[in-house]
C-alpha cells in the first residue's frame, strides 16, 4: 500500500508545527491592583512553547495569522485589552455595577504577526479591576496560529 499524504501532513522542516496556548489566571492573582501586563500563570496548553507564564507574554515563533481570545470572569468592573507590540488591538470594558454580580466578558481578534512580535493582555485603571478566577470560574487567555 502506498502512503498518500493528507493536506497538512507534508510539514516543511522550517515549520515549527502547531502553535497554540491556553493559560488561566491563578486564583491568587484575582482582583489585580495594577495596570500593565496581566500574567496568566496556570498553563493548560503551550504547543510551540511561545507563551511565557513568567511574563504573561506570547512571543511569535513564526509569522502568520493568529487568533487571540480573552475570556474573563468579572465581579464589578473589568478593563483590559489585547496588545501587540505595545499597541492596543481590541479592548474589553465590562461592568455589572451597581448590582455587582458575577458575569463573564470576552473579546477576540485575528492578528497578523511577524516572527518575534509580542502579544499580551494589558490592564488599565489601577484599583479598578474586578477580574477574578475561582475553582468554578476560569479567566483565560488563548492564542492559536491559524496559518
Tens-digit pLDDT string for the chain (147 aa): 444 444 445 455 566 689 999 999 999 999 999 999 999 999 999 999 999 999 999 999 999 999 999 999 998 889 999 999 999 999 999 887 777 778 889 999 999 999 999 999 999 877 778 999 988 889 999 999 999
pTM of the full predicted structure? 0.87
Residue 134 lies in a domain: yes
Query: Domain with 110 in it: what CATH number?
Result: 2.60.120.40
Residue 4 domain-assigned (yes or no): no
Distance CA 5, CA 126 (A): 53
- Report how far residue 80's alpha carbon sits from residue 94's, in angstroms, rounded to the nearest whole number: 9
Domain contains 60: yes
Is there a domain that residue 9 lies in?
no
Structural domain contains residue 81: yes
Contact 115, 60 (CB under 8 A): yes
Q: How many domains would you assign to the chain?
A: 1
Amino acid at each position: 500500500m502506498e502512503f498518500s499524504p493528507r493536506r497538512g501532513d507534508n510539514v516543511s522542516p522550517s515549520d515549527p508545527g502547531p502553535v497554540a496556548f491556553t493559560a488561566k489566571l491563578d486564583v491568587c492573582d484575582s482582583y489585580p491592583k495594577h495596570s500593565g501586563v496581566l500574567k496568566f500563570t496556570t498553563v493548560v496548553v503551550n504547543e510551540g512553547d511561545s507563551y511565557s507564564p513568567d511574563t504573561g507574554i506570547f512571543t511569535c515563533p513564526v509569522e502568520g495569522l493568529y487568533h487571540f481570545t480573552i475570556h474573563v470572569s468579572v465581579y464589578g468592573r473589568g478593563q483590559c485589552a489585547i496588545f501587540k507590540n505595545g499597541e492596543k488591538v481590541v479592548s474589553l470594558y465590562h461592568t455589572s455595577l451597581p448590582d455587582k454580580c458575577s458575569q463573564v466578558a470576552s473579546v477576540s481578534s485575528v492578528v497578523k504577526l511577524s516572527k518575534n512580535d509580542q502579544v499580551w493582555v494589558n490592564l488599565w485603571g489601577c484599583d479598578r479591576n474586578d477580574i477574578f478566577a475561582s475553582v468554578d470560574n476560569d479567566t483565560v487567555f488563548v492564542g492559536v496560529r491559524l496559518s
